[in-house]
Structure 1
Amino acid sequence: EYLRKFGYLSGASKETGNLMDMKDLSEGIKRLQRLGRIPQTGVMDRRTQELMQKPRCGVNDNKIVFGHRKKRYTLAPSKWEKKDLTFRLYNYSPDMPMHDIRNIIYGAFQVWSDVTKLTFKEKMHGDADIMIQFASKYHQDGYPFDGKGMILAHAFFPGTGRGGDTHFDDDERWTYNSSEGVNLFMVAAHEFGHALGLAHSSEPGALMYPWYQGFQTKFALPRDDVAGIQTLYGAELPDLPPTKPTQPPRSDDGYTVNPTDRYPTGDPPDPCTKPFDAITVIRTEIFLFIGNWFWRLDSRNIIKDPINLHKFWYGFPSNLTHIDAVYERPTDGKIVFFSGDRYWIFNANYLVTSFPTKGRPITDFGIPPDVKKIDTVYVWGFNNRTYLVSGDMYWKLDANNTYVEYDYPRDMSIWMGVPVPVDAAFRHWNGKTYFLSGPNYWEFYDLKMTVRPGYPKSIAKDWLKCKNT
């Protein structure tokens, strides 16, 4: 039954399995043994029986092709013909709080968006490309779960109808950041690989290996999985950029954006004690900037090591010392940086073609020439429009994010309770808008146009988990 279910016996069934040639049965067992990295005896020995008891994905292994020395990944018969995908959590497991499950799901999608051009957006109602469900036993998709134990989850390859849908066995005990139970993050990241068009890999260390590999404290997507998904959707913003840009270096004409070198190159400042210059969400990570350094905070609130601005974003003038404001443009996903009275537009981590290294003046947006810097820029979740703030004034950009609306600026007092001046503001992936000033942050209550009660709160304590705060 196991060999039939997971694709090792072609054409076998409960009714005809006893009529199969013993040679076919032996070859099927050998294929399973080869994939499981145990001796290929061709008989149902002890090691094979133990392998068949291991927890695993419910998707079969019949698309795995052996023989490649470098390429172990396997592509499914289908892929998405678009890069912007939606998902919806149909229900939740009782094993964890809802907000923890949502953060885990976001983090599992981020595993794939970090290395491709894919984006994922949650829908709260209606249909989505990837419908996510916790279910038990028979759940109306033709692939019933088996109760607590072997099959942990399954997903459908891209397509219409059930294509992309991902189901988790609700009889398992789902956990997070723990070696006990079944780690939801690891299983979800694997299943989303199927939902995006990857079949199982024959590489034991790959995320797409059929068997559950347990909790990993510092997970990084293995090279085999990266190669597979980028074959389908191309590469995007790298996690660790090359030492030198792969495009020809641009000449710097010496334009000074801001001559104040607050944080010279060298050791990065301490984010637990220094205020942030700018903050934004790019893809599914929070980027935090201080001087010419930045940090990345993922959906699990794990902060990554600091990276020097000029070693990641290629195209800034060499004497740029800090970023005042930054945001990801909702119209096309390009990233817009502000420093002093200039701005730059990047595609991933490269300056867009033909954009001047010295930047362009912020007056391009209709900002008055006496405004010398933008304090912050953010996309407000209430209306998905972009706002620029300088001192006690703010502007709203038009729907194309190219020019300010005609009846602006307006006074920041409209945003009741928001500190003036504000250091940074951004829309979190939970849809909420946060304002930062000094060591504190405020959550904004959109419907009442005021900050929520109980604020300000500590950035270092709540977001960065700093000690001695």
Structure 2
Amino acid sequence: QQFLERYGWIQPKDWNNLKYEDVSVPVDEDPAPQDSYVISEGLSQPNSIGSKERDTDPTLSPQYNDALRSFQKANGIQVTGRLDEETKLAMSKPRCGFPDNISGQNAANNESLSNTTSLNDTESSTNNSSTETPPIRRKRFLSRLIQHAQKKRSTQLLGDNPGLGFSKKTLKWRLMKEGYSAQLEEDNQRSALALAFRMWSEVIPLQFEEDTVSPLSEIDIKLGFGKGTHLGCSQAFDGPGKEIAHAWRLGNIHFDDDEHFTVHSSEGLNLLKVAVHEIGHTLGLSHILRPGSVMQPNYTPRDSNFELDWQDRKAIQSIYGVCEGPFKTVFDWVWKSDQTYRFNTYFFRSDRYWMYENRYNRTRYGDPNFITIGWPGVPNSNIDAYVHIFASNRDAQYFFKGTQVWRFDPQRNMAYTEDSYGNRYPKLISDEFPGVSGPVDTAFYDLRTNLIYFFKGNDVTAFSVGRNQIERGYPKRIIDVFPAVTSGDHPIGNLDAVYFSYAHRATFFIKDKFYWKVVGNGDLKYNPTLPYNGLLSQDRVVNKWFDICDVHSSTVFTS
């Protein structure tokens, strides 16, 4: 019964406004003098004579049985309404201290996420009844360290649930000096927490910065380890086992230092996995009662493929929205392995790049990274275009920036300074492709025609690889060579990227947050009246390529 009550199964808990439980309430060191007295009517007490209420078995209560059945159903246990061994085992697992069912003012439930608990509003309702214990002022250092009552926040958010999350796009966090764990090296603690924050930043337009110098009032999320009564918190830890950590929405995160946390070991409790879960609560998520979710309440050992699953991503994006472009360059990198050609898709922006895993519809875990790390020798930022000439008699990869072009050596994984023919790089674009001058907005190689299309402003130039010259009649207007299928629906010019996707077997034009698919052979078979090289109606990039998110520069991997 205590378990069901504590975690909100009998009655949803108002977690952000819980009173001090099993903890001495901090009092002011300089209380106000008792110079006035108020006499009020006392509260009536139940008559104990003849009463059997205290002797009643709580397990016979219909409310208890309903709560137990709900717990069993949510945890995939046979629904018996009895406290059997399987249920006891589920209740005894290490878990988060955040309730499974919480209450609050304007509590919202994202109905599109099956088997999830509600996502609640940031402001919790309070009871102003005169029968409640009046609030007690805390010591000043405690009020700085643990702040359950949050200030009213702006609701101008990117997601569908305004008011559930932080309104800022960059959040500062700090592992408090008085809250370091006695079990782990300081650097290991901070690096694990930084990676945990980064994992959320990889799926939402929110960045996290570790800040160890700013005034405490400017820190958005404070973290710390403690035992039992800890860090001025209203909820005490219970020692080894069971509750391992807890967090507050838009507030702080505490870890039970009586637990055996580890960083680079398969034993004990993995700090990274626990931290990712607790950060989810701080960002506005409730528990997701489904195996595989990082937000399930019970701790499960971390496997090698630990990451946010699809439902975790959709839950947090319902609060903060999704990540959108623009991108500077997009291309498929084709390479040969064991007589088989393979490809990877890359998105470039500024000084960073992402590899996109088309089979999973997501970016590679750990991206973005710096261009200088993955592509040695090419310009370190703002690359204009990439072209891969992939013909029977020529296989060459080029990067373009400004008026120059770099050729890349896939065997040595670095840009050429001089190729096998004695050509030195970088060189002027016009020297490698006569008649074409830079800079260009973007470019792509058309496998069907053996032409390179160079885009600049509202114009496009077709360059014949076979004849090593510009095609007659070019440059032309982009809209004339690639006409709009729907009148008025065309990017016109100043494109960000054009690339052929091997995953989709189609060419895409990308500008700002939108893309246009070029009419292909499959489209013509379905509708022969479509114009050759026509651009189909626009759609948002985020509807085709998911979660290409930036992270704070301090968390970009450097090796």
Shorter-chain TM-score tier: 0.5 to 0.7
The 1:69–1:231 alpha-carbon spacing in structure 2 relative to 1, beyond 3 Å, is: closer
Query: Deviation of residue 6 (structure 1)?
Result: 0.5
Which residue of structure 2 lines up, in the alignment, with residue 50 of structure 1?
89
Residue of structure 2 in register with 1:154 after alignment: 246
Superposition map of 1:23-172 within 5 A: 23-63=62-102, 70-73=113-116, 74-78=118-122, 79-90=165-176, 91-125=179-213, 126-127=215-216, 128-139=219-230, 140-158=232-250, 163=251, 165-172=252-259
**One-letter code aligned to 1:180:** E
Aligned to 1:404: none
| Structure number with higher relative contact order (C-alpha < 8 Å, ≥ 6 residues apart) | 2
Deviates more, 1:229-238 or 1:27-36: 229-238
TM-score, normalization by structure 1: 0.53
Cα RMSD for the two superposed structures: 4.9
Q: For residues 180 and 2 of structure 1, what CA distance do their matches in structure 2 show?
A: 27
Aligned residues: 299
Identify the residue that residue 494 of structure 2 maps to in structure 1. 356
* Deviation (angstroms), 1:205: 1.5
- Call closer, same or farther: CA 1:36–1:297 in 2, change over 3 Å: closer
**Percent same amino acid among aligned pairs?**
27
Compute the displacement of 1:342 (Å): 4.9
Q: Structure 1 residues 122 and 111, CA, compared in 2 at 3 Å: closer, same or farther? A: same
Contact 1:66–1:72 (CA<8 Å) still a contact in 2?
A: no
Query: Contact 2:95/2:298 (CA < 8 Å) preserved in 1?
Result: yes
Change in 2 beyond 3 A, CA 1:69/1:357: closer
Alignment partner, residue 321 of structure 1: 398
1:205 aligns with 2:292: yes
- TM, length-normalised to structure 2: 0.45
C-alpha deviation, 1:71, in angstroms: 2.9
Deviation, structure 1 residue 199: 0.4
Cα distance in structure 2, aligned partners of 1:17 and 1:286? 63
1:9 to 2:10 alignment: yes
Query: CA–CA distance in 1 between the matches of 2:273 and 2:237?
Result: 19
Whether the 8 Å contact between 1:114 and 1:237 is mirrored in structure 2 is no
Distance 1:354 1:212 in 2: 53
Aligned to 2:209, what secondary structure does the other structure show?
Answer: strand
- The code of the aligned residue for 1:37 comes to G
Q: 1:219 to 1:154 in 2, by over 3 A?
A: same
Of 216, 221, 229, the match for 2:303: 216
Q: Which piece of structure 1 moves more, 15-24 or 209-218?
A: 15-24
Q: Which runs of 5+ in 1 are unaligned?
A: 239-244, 253-262, 269-277, 288-293, 326-338, 346-352, 360-426, 435-462, 464-469
Q: Confirm or deny: 8 A CA contact 1:87 1:121 kept in the other structure.
A: yes
Residues 58-457 of structure 1: pairs in structure 2 closer than 5 A: 58-63=97-102, 70-73=113-116, 74-78=118-122, 79-90=165-176, 91-125=179-213, 126-127=215-216, 128-139=219-230, 140-158=232-250, 163=251, 165-236=252-323, 265-267=334-336, 316=385, 318=387, 321-322=398-399, 342=439, 356-357=494-495, 429=554
Rate the CA distance shift 1:173–1:358 in 2: closer, same or farther, 3 A.
Answer: closer
Q: Deviation string for 1:123-150 (max 9, x for gaps)?
A: 1033211001111111222111101110
Question: Which sections of structure 2, spanning at least 5 residues, go unmatched?
Answer: 14-20, 23-45, 47-52, 123-164, 338-347, 357-362, 389-396, 403-425, 428-437, 443-490, 498-551
> Helix, strand or coil for the counterpart of 2:313?
helix
Contact 2:385/2:401 (<8 A) preserved: no
Mean alpha-carbon deviation: is it higher for 22-31 or for 2-11? Answer: 2-11
